Amino acid sequence: MKIGSISIWRRAALGLAAATVIFAGGLMAGSRLLTSERTPTTSTDLLARVNELDAELKQMRKSEKQPSEIISSARNSICFIVSSYRLSASDGPPWPVLHYRLFATGFLTSDGMVVSNRHVMEPWFGDAKSQSLILHGFLPARERVLAYFPSLSTPVELSDFFSSTKADVAIAHVRLPPGAAVSPLRLAQMPSAPGDPVLVIGYPLGVTTMLAKSTALPYELSGLRDEQQVDRLARINLIRPSATQGHLSDVIGTSLMYDASTAHGSSGGPVLNTRGEVVGVNAALINGFNGTSLGVSVEALQDLLHKAELRRRVVSSQLNR
């Protein structure tokens, strides 16, 4: 089933309901030929119900989009993230300061918020090597997190980070330049179900995949550091996300499982339904189980956004005292 088509289960349910109504209407019409005691309003009600089902089916078709439409409208809202942090020994010198960098994905939602994973906004979270050093007295510190949007030639820095303690999702504030052609993605209001088609957009393998989109650049940029390569890609409008599509294979609580292929670098990207709405945040892949990826549901993201708004109100009230 193509991603642009209505969920097969919903289509079947509507078709079955319509067929049942029509069949019942036929029986009613036939029975009226046998007896004159039937009221003439029954067939009118059945016809009205058929028309309602037909209108509902047409509305569902109208709201769905083809993959090309979804990618085109969502692309500029999906940013390439460069997240840098350091680990410093609590005792200071002579222990070295260790610097790390992570490439990932994020996307813009309402109120100037960029959404990604907690392990992207807090790169030491869930990293076995970093956690081992932290247990031995090293202290993590975020250096900076830059977001490269496809329509911008320079990055924007993220701030005011807020992470979920229950799921691998986080948000941060972004201040976009005036006139930036970046629109927030809509969040789905209805829960997803196994079998629903999805489309995942992100930056798998980071710089490598974007470099592969140009035959000349791999040679031109081979001598540059990763950050310089990203800056160069932004200046020539090659910050362009990639998309894969598949279906939800399972939904358990706030966890999603789907067969749309992903790779390292896709973490934090949106999982979209056929209406282009966010149903989840891509988070991980299962090694050794080809074609299976994991995400965090939009319900977990909405809960985090709600908590962030409550925190903002508390801080604002304290400042206004």
| Spatial distance between the Cα atoms of 79 and 206, rounded to a whole number of angstroms | 11
- pLDDT confidence of residue 38: 46
The least confident of 34-43, 100-109, 208-217, 293-302 is 34-43
3-state secondary structure of 269: coil
- Structure-model confidence comparison of residues 92 and 237, the more confident one: 237
| Spatial distance between the Cα atoms of 115 and 301, rounded to a whole number of angstroms | 8
The reported pTM is 0.79
| Spatial distance between the Cα atoms of 52 and 44, rounded to a whole number of angstroms | 12
pLDDT in tens, 56-110: 666 655 568 899 999 999 999 999 999 999 999 877 666 788 999 999 999 999 8
Residue 255: closest CA among 197, 305, 194: 194
- Structure-model confidence comparison of residues 51 and 204, the more confident one: 204
| Spatial distance between the Cα atoms of 57 and 7, rounded to a whole number of angstroms | 11
Q: Is residue 235 pLDDT above 80, yes or no?
A: yes
pLDDT in tens, 158-214: 999 999 999 999 999 999 999 998 999 999 999 899 999 999 999 999 988 888 877
- pLDDT confidence of residue 33: 40
At CA 46, angle to CA 20 and CA 25, rounded to 5?
Answer: 55
